[in-house]
Structure 1
Amino acid sequence: MCKAKIKLVYRQVMDSSSEAAFEKAILQASYQEFLLKSQAYNREGKFKTFSKMKANDGRANSLHYKLDFSVGHFIAQLDRKMPLVKDNLGNKLSFETARFELIESHTEDISLHKIAINYEAPELSLVELFGEYMLLTYDDPSNVEQLQTFILRMQPDLSIVSYQEVANNAIA
């Protein structure tokens, strides 16, 4: 029996304190792209930070989208598995989409470059809640007889972004 259909998003923030090779590679690639692409919104070079560029020219918000291309191949290597979210058996949670976000940057100081990747899981069925633990299943309409369940603990940076109760707690 299913209580609700939910969507989860995990937000992985990366900055100069990040130590994993994956994070360092994404930071370096996105910073180099920031230096290149931000020139269009800062022709005279008088704005050093992303936030000042946005305040001066709202079109600078497109840098989120433009920098995403520079890190796409790193995200593709994850094989649609979130790098830091695992169920109780150690299996990584799957994701459908990954959205790049430029939080802040500075044209002269890479240590101030801060980004996030928001991983959105496919729709999941919430079967039961046990405190901070959720009993979940991936939706598999081809196999309603025997659903493969897993337990996931809520954790920092993991959010439920969509929640829809299922009528009569039946599998839809």
Structure 2
Amino acid sequence: MPKKVITLCYRKIIDNTNIKPWDKFVHEDSFAEFKMQSQFYNQEQKYTTFAELLLNVTDAEKLHFLVSASITGYLQQLKGIIPDVLDNLGRRFLAFENFRFELINSDINDIDRHKIAINFFSKPLVWHDTIDNQLLVSQFTETVEEETFTNLFPMQPFVSIYSIKIVE
């Protein structure tokens, strides 16, 4: 029987309104890294915002990648589990393989204007069913099992199905 194998994307937005310690550390360290890395693209100190750098400086989009290095240690603390997404029993369950860091906004003179996103991409899941607004999923494996352990979780803001593949 064919299986629907999906990858989910959770977009975690972090700015000065986040109150969890992990979020605050990521916010502060990514801001410090942005200030440091942006100096290379702003040697004449003409621009203060990320948007101005993108509009006026060649290769400024590389700042997404360069600043992402400042948060990799924090991602390791998550031990491969996506934060904030809980199943219907209140447990974090969604494993991730990849992430993409994104600078949304920043100003070298004002940490309160610094805003980032971390897009987490889940490991492959089998999508068994949808019950009301909840997805019933299990970890994808190549082997056939007699019993499959599942998670039921409500769809929530900033979670979407990133890709789908039908597997025979």
Structure 1-normalised TM-score? 0.92
2:123 matched to 1:119?
A: no
1:12 maps to 2:5: no
- Structure 2 CA distance for aligned equivalents of residues 58 and 16 of structure 1: 28
* Deviation by residue 1:1-38 (Cα, 9 ceiling, x = unmatched): 66511110000001111111001100111111111100
The CA deviation at 1:90 is 2.1
Counterpart position of 1:67:
67
1:98, distance to aligned residue in structure 2 (A):
2.1
The within-5 A match list for 1:145-156 is 145-156=146-157
TM-score (norm 2): 0.94
Provide the C-alpha distance between the structure 2 equivalents of 1:143 and 1:72, rounded to a whole number of angstroms.
35
**1:101-140 to 2 correspondence within 5 Å?**
101-140=102-141
- In 2, are the aligned partners of 1:137 and 1:147 still within 8 Å (CA)? yes
The equivalent of 2:52 in structure 1 is 52
Residue type at the aligned position of 1:80: G
Unaligned stretches of 5+ residues in structure 1: 167-171
User: What are the within-5 Å matches in structure 2 for residues 25-40 of structure 1?
Assistant: 25-40=25-40
* Cα shift readout 1:125-148 (whole Å, capped 9, x = no counterpart): 110111211110101224522111
The question of whether the paired residues in 2 share the 8 Å contact of 1:13 and 1:114 is answered with yes
Once the two structures are superposed, what CA deviation does each residue of 1:64-102 show, in whole Å capped at 9, x if it has no partner? Answer: 101111110011000011110011122211111122111
Q: CA RMSD in A?
A: 1.4
In the alignment, which residue of structure 1 is the partner of 2:86? 86
Q: How many residues align?
A: 167
SS of equivalent to 1:81: coil
SS of alignment partner, residue 32 of structure 1:
helix
Gaps of 5+ in 2: none
